[in-house]
Chain A
Amino acid sequence: MAEAAARPFMRVEGLRKTYEVRRGLFGRARPLHAVAGVTFEVQPGTTFGLVGESGSGKTTIAKMLMLAEPPSQGSIEVAGQDLTQLSGADRERFHSEVQPVLQDPYSSLNPRMRIGRIIDEPLRIHRRAERIDYDARVRELLELVGLPGDAGSRFPHELSGGQRQRVSIARALGLGPKCMILDEPVSALDVSIQAQILNLLKDLQARLGLTYLLISHDLAVVAYMSQRVGVLYLGEFMEIADTAEIVGNARHPYTQALIAAVDARSGAVDGATVAGEIPSPMNPPSGCTFHPRCPYAQARCRAEKPGLREIGPSHFVACHFAEQVPSRGHPHASSSIAPAPMAPTFPPIDQPKENP
Chain B
Amino acid sequence: MEPILEARNLTTMLRGRAGVVTAVDNVSLSVYPGRTLALVGESGSGKSITCLSMLGLLPSSGKLVAGEVMFKGRDLAKLSQRELEAIRGREIGMILQDAMTSLNPLFTIGDQIGEVFRYHQGIRDRAELRRRSIEVLEKVKIPAAAERLDSYPFQFSGGMRQRVSIAINVALSPDLLICDEPTTALDVTVQLQILRLLGELQRQQNMAIVFVTHDLQMAAQFCDDVAIMYGGRVVESGPIREVFDNPVHPYTVGLLEAVPTLENFGSRLVAIPGQQPALSAIPPGCRFAARCASANDQCRAQYPDWFEWNEGSRRVACWRTEERVQASAARRRAEAAHG
* Chain A interface (Cβ < 8 Å from any Cβ of B): 53-54, 160, 162-163, 190-196, 198-199, 202, 217-221, 223-224, 243-244, 247, 257-270, 273-275, 277-278, 293, 329, 340, 342, 345-347
Q: Which of B220, B257, B275, B276 meets A264, CB within 8 Å? A: B220
Q: Which of A198, A217, A270 meets B188, CB within 8 Å? A: A217
C-alpha gap A258/B192 in the complex (Å) = 10
Q: Which of A53, A191, A217, A261 meets B214, CB within 8 Å? A: A191
- A-binding segment of B127-135, B258-266, B300-308, B321-329: B258-266
- A-binding segment of B25-33, B99-107, B193-201: B193-201
Interface positions, chain B 266-304, Cβ under 8 Å from A, are: 266-273, 275-276
Q: In the assembled complex, which residues on chain A have CB atoms less than 8 Å from the CB atom of B43?
A: 190
Q: In the assembled complex, which residues on chain A have CB atoms less than 8 Å from the CB atom of B260?
A: 194-195, 198, 218, 220-221, 223-224
B276/A263 in contact, CB under 8 A? no
A194/B259 in contact, CB under 8 A? yes
CB A249 to nearest CB in B, in angstroms, measures 12
Given that A221-B260, A262-B262, A277-B157 are known contacts, is A192 also in contact with B192, CB under 8 Å in the complex? Answer: no
CB B130 to nearest CB in A, in angstroms, measures 26
Q: In the assembled complex, which residues on chain A have CB atoms less than 8 Å from the CB atom of B160?
A: 277
C-alpha gap A273/B189 in the complex (Å) = 8
Chain A residue nearest in CB terms to B43: A190
B265/A243 in contact, CB under 8 A? yes
C-alpha gap A221/B262 in the complex (Å) = 9
C-alpha gap A261/B193 in the complex (Å) = 10
C-alpha gap A262/B222 in the complex (Å) = 12
Given that A190-B42, A199-B271 are known contacts, is A262 also in contact with B255, CB under 8 Å in the complex? Answer: no
Query: Which of B196, B265, B269 is most buried by chain A, counting CB atoms within 10 A of its CB?
Result: B265
Q: Which of B159, B215, B258, B263 meets A277, CB within 8 Å? A: B159
Chain A residue nearest in CB terms to B291: A192
Across chains A and B, which 9 residue pairs bring their CB atoms closest together, nearest first? Answer: A195-B271, A53-B187, A195-B258, A223-B265, A190-B42, A224-B260, A261-B188, A264-B220, A195-B269
Apart from the given pairs A192-B272, A273-B196, 4 other A-B contacts in the complex at a CB distance below 8 Å: A190-B276, A220-B259, A257-B189, A269-B222
Given that A53-B187, A191-B42, A217-B187 are known contacts, is A269 also in contact with B259, CB under 8 Å in the complex? Answer: no
Residue B57 at the chain A interface, CB threshold 8 Å? no
A247/B157 in contact, CB under 8 A? no
Given that A199-B268, A264-B217, A340-B263 are known contacts, is A194 also in contact with B258, CB under 8 Å in the complex? Answer: yes
Q: List 6 A-B contacts (CB under 8 A).
A: A191-B214, A198-B269, A261-B191, A269-B196, A277-B159, A346-B266
Residue B81 at the chain A interface, CB threshold 8 Å? no
Majority-rule SS of A interface residues: helix
B193/A193 in contact, CB under 8 A? no
C-alpha gap A261/B218 in the complex (Å) = 8
Residue B52 at the chain A interface, CB threshold 8 Å? no
A261/B42 in contact, CB under 8 A? no
Chain A residue nearest in CB terms to B160: A277
Residue B246 at the chain A interface, CB threshold 8 Å? no
C-alpha gap A261/B271 in the complex (Å) = 23
Count of A-B residue pairs with CB < 8 Å? 133
Residue B56 at the chain A interface, CB threshold 8 Å? no
A277/B190 in contact, CB under 8 A? yes
Chain A residue nearest in CB terms to B244: A264
C-alpha gap A191/B269 in the complex (Å) = 12
A269/B275 in contact, CB under 8 A? no
C-alpha gap A277/B268 in the complex (Å) = 34
CB B265 to nearest CB in A, in angstroms, measures 4
Query: Which of B159, B191, B261 is most buried by chain A, counting CB atoms within 10 A of its CB?
Result: B261
B262/A190 in contact, CB under 8 A? no
Given that A190-B43, A192-B255, A192-B276 are known contacts, is A268 also in contact with B187, CB under 8 Å in the complex? Answer: no
CB A250 to nearest CB in B, in angstroms, measures 10
B221/A191 in contact, CB under 8 A? no
Q: In the assembled complex, which residues on chain A have CB atoms less than 8 Å from the CB atom of B187?
A: 53-54, 217, 277-278
C-alpha gap A347/B272 in the complex (Å) = 24
A262/B259 in contact, CB under 8 A? no
C-alpha gap A74/B160 in the complex (Å) = 36
C-alpha gap A244/B265 in the complex (Å) = 9
B261/A264 in contact, CB under 8 A? yes
Given that A199-B271, A264-B221, A342-B263 are known contacts, is A192 also in contact with B42, CB under 8 Å in the complex? Answer: yes
Complex interface bits, B228-254 against A, C-beta within 8 A gives 1, otherwise 0? 000000000000000000000000001
CB A300 to nearest CB in B, in angstroms, measures 23
Chain A residue nearest in CB terms to B190: A277
Q: In the assembled complex, which residues on chain B have CB atoms less than 8 Å from the CB atom of A342?
A: 262-263
Chain A residue nearest in CB terms to B219: A264
Residue B216 at the chain A interface, CB threshold 8 Å? yes
C-alpha gap A174/B260 in the complex (Å) = 28
CB A243 to nearest CB in B, in angstroms, measures 7
C-alpha gap A331/B338 in the complex (Å) = 33
Q: In the assembled complex, which residues on chain B have CB atoms less than 8 Å from the CB atom of A260?
A: 192
Given that A192-B254, A194-B259 are known contacts, is A220 also in contact with B265, CB under 8 Å in the complex? Answer: yes
Q: In the assembled complex, which residues on chain B have CB atoms less than 8 Å from the CB atom of A347?
A: 266-267
Q: In the assembled complex, which residues on chain B have CB atoms less than 8 Å from the CB atom of A220?
A: 217, 259-262, 265
CB B114 to nearest CB in A, in angstroms, measures 26
